[in-house]
Amino acid sequence: MLDRLTGLDIFTKVAAAGSLSAAARAMALSPTMVTKHIAALESRLGVTLFHRSTRRLSLTEAGRTYLDSCTRILAEIDAADSAVAAERATPRGLLRLNAPVSFGARQIAPLLDEFCRRHPHVTIELGLNDRLVDLAEEGWHLAIRIGSLADSSLIARRIAPCRTIICAAPSYLAAHGTPRRLTDLPAHECLGYTLSRLTGVNRWNFGEDGAIGVPVSGHLRANNGDALRAAAIAGLGLIYQPTFIVADDLRAGTLSPVPLDQPTVTFSGIYAVYLPAPHPAAKLRAFIDFLLERFSPVPPWDR
């Protein structure tokens, strides 16, 4: 079966040239192939498109009507091709970005003004939630994920390391003492993060590989790191959180670090993940490069 779009293109070229052979030369095709395409068009449409003479082809009335439509359709296709090619070359269009709530609000949102000034043709839609979104099903172009990545077909770029720390308000430590060893933790209020198995509700893990587990408990648990941070600042207990959440408070002194006799867990990293594509859009590449520029080699919260 002959390609219909090619047939439309050949038809417009024959109409412009007034000759099958001239159109064939212009398109680097054989006259036989050009003739087959025109014959296939006429057969499918059930009309005659050209008056044929020994010297020249001329359009029939049906051919002139069809030419107007074909010219418009081919121009729209060219415009669509150009728009897509421009989007790949120059960052433009809507970029839908999903990120965990605390990281997105604290570390991504403050950078968006600079990115948008650099790339004025890009519009950002930032979605914040702590569940694992499905990029393909929900239409996200890019997602930020923290920690070990599950096996998937997504492309992942590591944009930053992810350190953790235990800390508490000076008022809590003054009232309850400062733990020095892992064995001290069960006697303290340990505010649990319900979405983590390593720094969670009933057990906190330590060591580079998280192999050392310590039972913990507390009177508050939450599914958001900023909620736990606020509770810790108020003096409710210890928290075990990534440094990107508490760095400003540690600098300000509203939270104090609590070093123990074993290191806290270091997550594998913070990643930008996106669906595989042979030619990722320029807006996607530009945003990932921007994050790498701002977060590598040492992210601002760890400086």
Q: Which residue has the higher pLDDT, 89 or 285?
A: 285
Higher pLDDT, 297 or 249: 249
Identify the three-state secondary structure at position 161.
strand
Instruction: Say if CB 254 and CB 233 are below 8 A apart.
Output: yes
Has residue 26 got a pLDDT over 60? yes
Provide the pLDDT confidence category of residue 279 given band limits of 50, 70 and 90: confident
Residue 83's H or E segment, with its range, is: helix 61-89
pLDDT score of 83? 72
All structural domains of the chain: 4-86 (1.10.10.10), 93-160+269-302 (3.40.190.10), 164-265 (3.40.190.10)
| Range list of H helices, 130-224 | 135-138, 170-176
Predicted pLDDT at 53: 80
Q: In this structure, what DSSP letter does residue 190 have?
A: B
Q: Say if residues 196 and 222 touch (Cβ distance below 8 Å).
A: no
Q: Which of 137-146, 151-160, 176-185, 211-220 has the lowest mean pLDDT?
A: 151-160
Please write the tens of the pLDDT for every residue from 175-219: 999 999 999 999 999 999 998 888 889 999 999 788 999 999 999
| pLDDT above 80 (res 288) | yes
Q: Give the chain's mean pLDDT.
A: 91
Separation between Cα atoms, residue 142 and residue 210, nearest integer Å: 29
Length, in residues, of the chain: 303
| Model pLDDT, residue 181 | 97
Residue 246 has pLDDT above 80, yes or no: yes
DSSP-assigned letter for residue 241: E
Pairing assessment for the beta strands 267-274 and 142-146 based on DSSP bridges: antiparallel
> Over the stretch 43-82, which tens digit does the pLDDT of each residue have?
989 999 998 887 778 899 999 999 999 988 988 888 787 7
- Rounded to two decimals, what is the model's pTM? 0.72
Nearest partner of 269 among 292, 289, 238, judged by Cα: 292
Q: Rounded distance, CA 112 to CA 203, Å?
A: 36
Cβ atoms of 162 and 267 closer than 8 Å = yes
**From the CA atom positions of the chain, what is the Rg in Å?**
31
The rounded percent of the chain whose pLDDT value lies above 70 is: 97
SS3 282: helix
pLDDT tens, residue by residue, 72-126 = 898 888 878 777 766 666 899 999 999 999 999 999 999 999 999 999 999 999 9
